[in-house]
Chain A
Amino acid sequence: AQSVSQHNHHVILSEAASLELGCNYSYGGTVNLFWYVQYPGQHLQLLLKYFSGDPLVKGIKGFEAEFIKSKFSFNLRKPSVQWSDTAEYFCAVNKGNQGGKLIFGQGTELSVKP
C-alpha cells in the first residue's frame, strides 16, 4: 500500500534560517506530489504541486520542492523563513495515472521564533 513519510514531526527555527522538510513516499509508479500548509486557525492550502517535467517546483510564498525519483522524495525548501511561516505542513501523493485519493504524511509542525 502507498504510504508517505514525513521524518520531522516538529521543527523549530529562528527567522531567516533555511528550511528543509523531508517527504518520502512508497510507490513505484508515476506519482503526483503535493505540499499543503495549514496555518493556525485556517484551512489546508496548496503550497505547490508536481505532475511531471522540471523536478524543481516553485510554489507560493517563496517555497520550492524538488522531486528526486531515485530517492522517492519530494522535500520542501525555503531559503529564509519568516515568523508567518509558522504552520503545519503536509506532503501528499496520489497515483500519477489515476489521480484520486491523496495519501498524506503525518505532517510537520514548523515553529518560527521571531
Chain B
Amino acid sequence: EPEVTQTPSHQVTQMGQEVILRCVPISNHLYFYWYRQILGQKVEFLVSFYNNEISEKSEIFDDQFSVERPDGSNFTLKIRSTKLEDSAMYFCAGTQSTGEKLFFGSGTQLSVL
C-alpha cells in the first residue's frame, strides 16, 4: 500500500526558532491535512489544503503557522517562532476525496526546548 512519508521523524529546536516539517503525500491524493497530538491527548486538526490553498484552519493555526506545496509533491508545515507549547507529534495526512479514508504519515515529534 502507498505511504505518506514525513521527515524528520524527530525534531528538536530552541524556543523562538523556525521549523519546517515535511511531508510527501501519496501521488494521487488531492486533499491534504496537518494534525497535531500532544502526548497523551487527542489528535487535533490544524489545517486542510486543497487546490493549492488552505480550505479550512483551526484556532490553533494562527499567524505563526503556514503551509505550502510549492512543487506539487512536498507538503510543508512551517512554524515561524516556536513556543514550548508547540511540542507535539505532528501528523500529515491525505486523501483522494473527502469521503474516503485519510492516510496518515508516521509523524514528526517536535520538541521545543
Tell me, yes or no, whether A binds B: no
Show the binding face of A for B, using Cβ within 8 Å: none
Show the binding face of B for A, using Cβ within 8 Å: none
